[in-house]
Structure 1
């Protein structure tokens, strides 16, 4: 398979790339490094990326940002960071990327536990994650050419435990092999419109 992994140099991305590159052709796209650079908040950058990749069998996105802060500190513009990047960035990956997928190809997006179990300072991120879950379930009804779309939603991964543990009191870190299997299930399974939850 020819697989594009956006965010392939991140905490989760590196592990997912390591798994898939064993028996697939993997292209890494990232904002500043990788085989191709892309800013998913910019639809023209997304289009340019796909022009370079050509036809693909799978697209995986493990990228996108949202502002974390106390609710009373968040401005309207702070919310637009997540809306432009993590939400519309991934929506545009589906909207544009579908035309670069071979028949029966797949698109896998990424959110996180905040959609279902938010913590303090995550009103923006939780809102964006929940929106992506609804988007995936709806767009799966309309994609043509037998293209599938799913989203992997993980709890705090073990590789980020030390950095984020104070934000997630009492949450159990999710083992990286379990996280990788969520992406394998999306790419190699037959599910469509699924929110693949990897929680405690």
Structure 2
């Protein structure tokens, strides 16, 4: 990464909710290498400790369930000044519109929308003026697919939240949203290797770039969103051309 990013992030405190795995962890690694001070938060203590060992650089950890409003408030109250907040924690529930259990839909909305909403709201009082908040949505927000209508709607809600907050927090903080396409992360670990690699090959072959994403591809976009002082209210599509493919 260039010295521009090093200058912008060195010594800055970056909080990454969802930083124990996948794209959040990749962002934590990249920002640590640029001299930032990192706090990663997630629900799993085991994953947090493993990620901290992998990331290095004195990363701080916090076990937080973002759907627990009281817990989020208590955690945010002891964070100290925060320069940038990144919320990559996510949840997905797939199923046909008529078949997806309502409880699954509610759980996804709680984890992917309510949780980030609460985290941003409770961290805001300690967010340094001129800092940033970066949410995560997903490509299905504007290119839905059968069997993922609920997920598409939740992603769209996250993007609307980011745009609304960018306006509401004008002069206080910049707010943006990263919209990834398919990225090879631990999210697909439950699949067999054969099925997983077949899916990556099929989806990647349909994209203009010819492959699915890697966590580092998304981390680069997050670094840019945090450091570009002219960027707010934007949805950054880091999807390998998914939105423009045939």
TM-score of the pair, normalised by structure 1: 0.90
Give the CA deviation at 1:29: 0.6
Partner of 2:221: 182
CA contact (8 A) 2:27 2:216 kept: no
Determine helix, strand or coil for the equivalent of 2:224: helix
The structure-2 alpha-carbon separation of the partners of 1:146 and 1:74, relative to structure 1 and needing over 3 Å to count, comes to same
Equivalent residue, structure 2, for 1:195: 235
- 2:93 pairs with 67, 75, 87, which one? 67
The equivalences for 1:90-105 within 5 A come to 90-105=116-131
> Equivalent residue for 1:41?
67
2 CA distance for matches of 1:77 and 1:159? 26
Indicate whether 1:11 and 2:25 are aligned: no
Question: Normalised by the size of structure 2, how large is the TM-score?
Answer: 0.74
Give how far 1:178 is off: 2.5
* Per-residue deviation, 1:145: 5.0
Q: Which runs of 5+ in 2 are unaligned?
A: 1-11, 49-60, 241-246
Aligned counterparts of 1:9 and 1:176: Cα–Cα separation in 2: 12
Q: Root-mean-square deviation (CA), in Å?
A: 2.1
Q: How big is the shift at 1:144?
A: 5.2
Mapped contact 1:66–1:81 kept (Cα < 8 A): no
- Contact kept? 1:64, 1:89, Cα under 8 Å: no
Deviation at 1:10, TM superposition (A): 1.4
- Name which of 148, 160, 166 aligns with 2:199: 166
| Superposition deviation, residue 19 in structure 1 | 0.3
Q: Where do 1:19-168 residues align within 5 Å?
A: 19-22=30-33, 23-33=35-45, 34=48, 35-143=61-169, 145-159=171-185, 163=196, 166=199
Query: Which ranges in structure 1 are unaligned for 5 or more consecutive residues?
Result: none
Larger Cα Rg: Structure 1 or Structure 2? 2
Number of residue pairs matched?
200
Structure 2 CA distance, aligned partners of 1:152 and 1:24? 20
CA drift of 1:157 comes to 1.3
